[in-house]
Amino acid sequence: MIANFKQTAIKAALEAGVILKKHFGRTLNIRHKGEIDLVTEADLKSEQKIVSIIKKAFPEHDILAEERGLQDNQAEYKWLIDPLDGTTNYAHGFPVFAVSIALERKGEIILGVVYDPMRDEIFTAIKGKGAYLNNKKINVSATKSLSVSLLATGFAYDVRVSPENNLNHFSNFILRSQGIRRAGSAAIDLCYIASGRFDGYWEMKLKPWDTAAGSLIVKEAGGRVTDFQGQPFSHYSKEILASNGKIHREMIKVLSYK
**Which of 69, 68, 124, 132 has the alpha carbon at shortest distance from 99?**
124
Question: Is the Cβ of residue 121 or residue 245 nearer to Ca ion in the bound state?
Answer: 121
Binding mask 55-94 for ligand IPD (x = CB under 6 A): ---------------------------x--xxx-------
Q: Which of residues 17 and 154 has its CB atom nearest to ligand IPD in the complex?
A: 154
- Binding residue for Ca ion, selected from 8, 40, 82, 111, defined by CB under 5 A: 82
| Comparison of 146 and 192: residue with beta carbon closer to Ca ion | 192
CA atoms within 13 A of residue 203's CA, in its CB half-sphere: 29
Nearer to ligand IPD, 154 or 223 (CB): 154
Which one, 85 or 104, has the nearer CB to ligand IPD? 85
Other Cβ atoms closer than 10 A to 21: 14
Residue 185 sits in the site that holds ligand IPD (CB under 6 A): yes
Q: What are φ and ψ of residue 243, in 5° steps?
A: -155, 180
Task: Give 203 or 246: the residue with its C-beta nearer to ligand IPD.
Answer: 203
Binding residue for Ca ion, selected from 49, 53, 85, 195, defined by CB under 5 A: 85
User: Are the C-beta atoms of 176 and 147 separated by less than 8 Å?
Assistant: yes
231-252 burial, b for 16+ CB within 10 Å, e for fewer?
A: eebbbeeebbbbbbbbbbebbb
> Would you give the binding string for ligand IPD spanning residues 196-215, x where CB under 6 A is met?
----------x---x-----
Helical segments of 101-204, H only = 167-174, 186-194
Residue nearest to Ca ion (CB): 85
Residue 189, interface with Ca ion (CB under 5 A)?
no
- Residue 191 CA neighbour count, 13 Å, CB half: 29
218, amino acid identity: V
With CB under 6 A as the contact rule, the residue among 186, 221, 240, 252 that binds ligand IPD is 186
Q: How far is the CB of 36 from ligand IPD (least distance, A)?
A: 10
Query: What residue 86 binds from Ca ion, ligand IPD, none (CB within 5 to 8 A, per partner kind)?
Result: ligand IPD
Do residues 123 and 133 lie in contact, with contact meaning Cβ atoms separated by under 8 Å? yes
Distance CA(173)–CA(212), nearest Å, equals 25
Please give the Cα distance from 153 to 72 (Å, whole number): 32
Give contact residues for Ca ion (rule: CB under 5 A): 66, 82, 84-85, 210
Give contact residues for ligand IPD (rule: CB under 6 A): 82, 85-87, 154-156, 184-186, 206, 210
